[in-house]
Amino acid sequence: MALTEQGELQRRGINDIRISAGLGVNELWLYYFSLTGNVDEFGVDAYLHGCLALPALDCDQLALALNEILDERGGTTARAPYTNSF
């Protein structure tokens, strides 16, 4: 399954914000998994680096996890995009 143009924009947005926040893949994956995410850490890492496409639901759960982490940390207005953002 290949990423659509919109899916690629979402993936880049999630990964760019994750990197800007200084958040490791493991930390994001743990939070995502706690939100009932069902992709393993290797799969999330592959997605974030553009090697694997994920279903929209999982992409949105990753965005939610990242946004909640950012909210907990405070100090940033950056938000990871959801599939309906495009």
Its pTM stands at 0.92
Predicted confidence (pLDDT) per residue in 18-77, tens digit: 999 999 999 999 999 999 999 999 999 999 999 999 999 999 999 999 999 999 998 778
The pLDDT, as a whole number, for residue 51 is 95
Q: Quote the CA–CA distance of 59 and 7 in Å, as a whole number.
A: 9
Question: Which tokens belong to 23?
Answer: 């958040």
Question: Where residue 1 falls among pLDDT bands split at 50, 70, 90?
Answer: low
User: Dihedral sign, CA of 31, 37, 40, 42?
Assistant: negative
The pLDDT, as a whole number, for residue 86 is 65
Q: Quote the CA–CA distance of 30 and 39 in Å, as a whole number.
A: 11
* In contact, 50 and 11? CB cutoff 8 Å: yes
